[in-house]
Structure 1
């Protein structure tokens, strides 16, 4: 870890207010990257609010949102993000073979066309830096424009999370080994 993470007793009033707001939210705990973001308390506040919105209040159930998050974690080889969201993906009902395929950079087989579209959009956003017209048109039909916006939000937010975790070298919990090479 490159950064000393503050305990609540070491935080400024503004940092503590942001921290307290975060633990009072739907997560019930401060997300790991927020502990780094507290160096910029207002950024931490807004980023954490956005993260809560994207995790819990999109049109997608967790099973679908986690696909975009895992594709993002894999794209950035974010070991901590992968570790955290692999568990959430399994709890949300994603087939372990889909998770393994994303980890190994193979295209998974999906039984839900929405899942496949989220995967295709996330890959295109990360690898192609955008979305082709045919993929966009198909995504509008499968996910709606709101769905496209929310997949972009998930990929963008979790890119920031991955960059934070990677930059400050957040480690896995003791005894855990990364699945990512």
Structure 2
């Protein structure tokens, strides 16, 4: 995809109205900006990835941004568990931006190249711990069937507990929403993806 295929305006910070600028500042000045494994903006300050699409409707975009920040920085899922889940969703939906971004985050969270290769083909790595393998099993079921059968639900709840399972289900829904937004608005990979 090229930049001119975008369906939404790609605005520099000085082109944003007050509501969009407040959302922009929350994204780049929040946890994501402090912990970025990849650049959130291009050289002109324009937001990359799903963050740019959030500016289209700033009130709902602010809620989406806050949910994403909560799921990334304030859940009881470990960094590895979270990235296993995100990448499983991203690969299932062929969400190039999320794969690109979260492979970078996953490496920082300790996932190996071999583990990333297994995730690319939809497989849980043999090196995953028991809870990590259960995270992958739950996500695989959710993206394939849109549900958890009784056995998968019980195994997920036993391994993760109710709260972590609830966080995981919410995380899957959130990243599926981002995959849809990225696809609909034709958001490309960054022009200089090696950050």
Q: Assess same fold via TM > 0.5.
A: yes
Change (3 A) 1:32 1:174: closer
Aligned partners of 1:113 and 1:89: how far apart in 2? 18
Residue segments in structure 1 that go unaligned for 5+ positions in a row: none
Aligned to 2:36: none
Give how far 1:60 is off.
1.4
Matched, 1:88 2:105: yes
What is the distance in 1 between the residues matched to 2:68 and 2:126? 28
In structure 1, what is the equivalent of residue 7 of structure 2?
2
Contact 2:48 2:190 (8 Å CA) reproduced: no
Q: State the distance in 1 between where 2:177 and 2:15 align.
A: 25
State the shift of 1:150 in Å: 0.7
Flag structure 2 segments of 5+ consecutive residues without an equivalent: 1-5, 34-39, 41-46
Give me the TM-score of the superposition, normalised by structure 1. 0.91
How do residues 1-181 of structure 1 correspond to structure 2 at under 5 angstroms? 1-28=6-33, 29=40, 32-174=49-191
Deviation at 1:10, TM superposition (A): 1.2
Q: How many residues align?
A: 177
Cα distance in structure 1, aligned partners of 2:26 and 2:94: 29
Deviations 1:73-123 (A, max 9, x none): 001100111000011111110122221112123343244111001100001
